[in-house]
Amino acid sequence: MAILGIESLIYGVDDMETCTRFWNDFGLTPITRSARESVFEVATGSRLVVRARADCGVADWFDGNGVKLVIWGVDTRENLEELVANVKCDREVRRDPDGTAYAVANDGIPFGLRVWNKRPVVSAPDEVNAPGNIKRLNQHRKWRLRALPKTLSHVVFYSKDYVASYEFYRDRLGFRLSDHSEGLGAFARADGTHEHHSIFWLSADVPFASGKASFMHAAFGLEDIDEVMLGANIMAQRGWLGEEGHKLGGLSRHRISSAIYYYVHNPNGGEAEYTCDTDYLDDNWIPRVWNWKFGAVLWAHDRLAMFGPIEAGWEVRLDPEGRSLDPFRVIGSETGKSNVHIKDLTVESQNLV
């Protein structure tokens, strides 16, 4: 075990007051507030830091608001030094006095590594009743007041070459491939956590992306579907959803990862995702390859047309060696180039080698 998950996310924003208020309403626990930054945390101790883009302390590597830096939490000082040695063999690594290390991956996306005393969390979701399978007798479900995220479970970036992005994290940081949404992106899990994925790299060629490396969203783990929907209702009541917030499919469940989710359009950049009931994995898991339309959504209360008919595209296969990624690697030469072009989210592979 080495990397335990996300220790911190650093957001660079244009409006500190509005962006700070968003996270208060979202349910994060405020820790400190100053003219320079607002700091929040979740139950595990993962932190979310909001800073002005002009005073972020991190390279402004994409246009607009969003996560400018993810810092991964490492279990021991010894493991941190081993990871730093892996990274610095061919690139500069900057260190803080506390030992935090900073570098830039091959895809141009910066990251950090820091020793982290991750706090354990305990959840007590209500049992689920079903006909002929009574789990809750003479007992109603919890009455909640608001959503209170327990985990900062994953981050999603757009990448010009999601295979190369994954391979850097695999080879230098020990991440495991979880699943491959074929032609669309790769899911990977830090070796010290069991959540389905800690990071997802999504092709920057999708129509709603800029075509460049950038930030998409961060996800926050809740206890159950009731808490997810309560959080969404509170955010709507406080004016955060608006027109943009209702374009994202509403309450849904992925087939890949099995997670229930609700995206909230975020003034801090991208979306903030409430999520629960994800798959948990260990090293016995065998990665799968998914038709992206089939894998993206099992159901949604406002199903987007781009996902097609519910019964279409049942294409899932095992991929223990990760070989399905090979055709989607960007080779970089003019004769052997292997780009994936996505038009209207239909994958077209050209000149594959």
Confidence of residue 351 (pLDDT cuts 50, 70, 90): very low
In the chain, what's the furthest Cα-to-Cα distance?
A: 69
Average pLDDT over residues 192-205: 97
Window from 302-306, 310-314, 329-333, 340-344 with minimum mean pLDDT = 340-344
Kindly give the interhelix angle for 162-173 and 77-88, rounded to the nearest 10 degrees: 130
Average pLDDT over the chain, rounded to an integer: 90
Range of 229's domain? 3-120+145-324
Which pTM was predicted?
Answer: 0.92
Joined together, the tokens standing for residue 275 give: 């999520």
Given a contact cutoff of 8 angstroms between Cβ atoms, the answer to whether 8 and 71 are in contact is yes
Give the C-alpha separation, 166 to 207, whole Å: 22
CA distances from 121 to 2, 42, 77, 115, 198 (A): 19, 10, 23, 19, 17
Q: What is the pLDDT of residues 211-261, one digit of tens each?
A: 999 999 999 999 999 999 999 999 999 999 866 555 567 899 999 999 999
- Number of structural domains in the chain: 1
- Looking at residue 132, what DSSP letter applies? T
Q: Please, what is the Cα angle at 25 between 66 and 118, to 5 degrees?
A: 70
15 within some domain: yes
Q: 3-state SS of the chain: helix, strand, coil percent to 5?
A: 20, 35, 50
**CATH number of the domain encompassing residue 273:** 3.10.180.10
Give the C-alpha separation, 275 to 221, whole Å: 5
346 within some domain: no
Given a contact cutoff of 8 angstroms between Cβ atoms, the answer to whether 220 and 274 are in contact is yes
Give the C-alpha separation, 119 to 128, whole Å: 28
* pLDDT cut 70: percent of the chain above it: 91
Give the C-alpha separation, 118 to 243, whole Å: 37
Q: Is the pLDDT of residue 346 over 60?
A: no
Cβ-based burial of 8 (10 A; exposed 0-12, middle 13-18, buried ≥19): buried
Q: Please, what is the Cα angle at 84 between 5 and 325, to 5 degrees?
A: 60
Confidence of residue 286 (pLDDT cuts 50, 70, 90): very high
**Beta partners for 33?**
38
Joined together, the tokens standing for residue 285 give: 């898991």
Give the C-alpha separation, 136 to 114, whole Å: 43
Average pLDDT over residues 301-329: 86
Q: What is the pLDDT of residues 38-47, one digit of tens each?
A: 999 999 999 9
131 within some domain: no
347 within some domain: no
Q: How many CB atoms lie within 10 A of CB 138?
A: 4
150 within some domain: yes
335 within some domain: no
Cβ-based burial of 219 (10 A; exposed 0-12, middle 13-18, buried ≥19): buried
Confidence of residue 268 (pLDDT cuts 50, 70, 90): very high
What's the pLDDT score for residue 353? 21
- HSE at residue 24, side-chain half, CA atoms within 13 A, is 12
| DSSP letters for 149-209 | --EEEEEEEEES-HHHHHHHHHHHH--EEEEEETTTEEEEE-TT--BS-SEEEEETTSTTS
Residues in the chain: 353
Per-residue three-class SS string for 223-288: CCHHHHHHHHHHHHHCCCCHHHHCCCCCCEECCCCCCEEEEEECCCCCEEEEEECCCECCCCCCCE
Instruction: With residue 221 as reference, give the H or E element that holds it.
Output: strand 214-221
Q: Is the pLDDT of residue 334 over 50?
A: no
341 within some domain: no
94 within some domain: yes
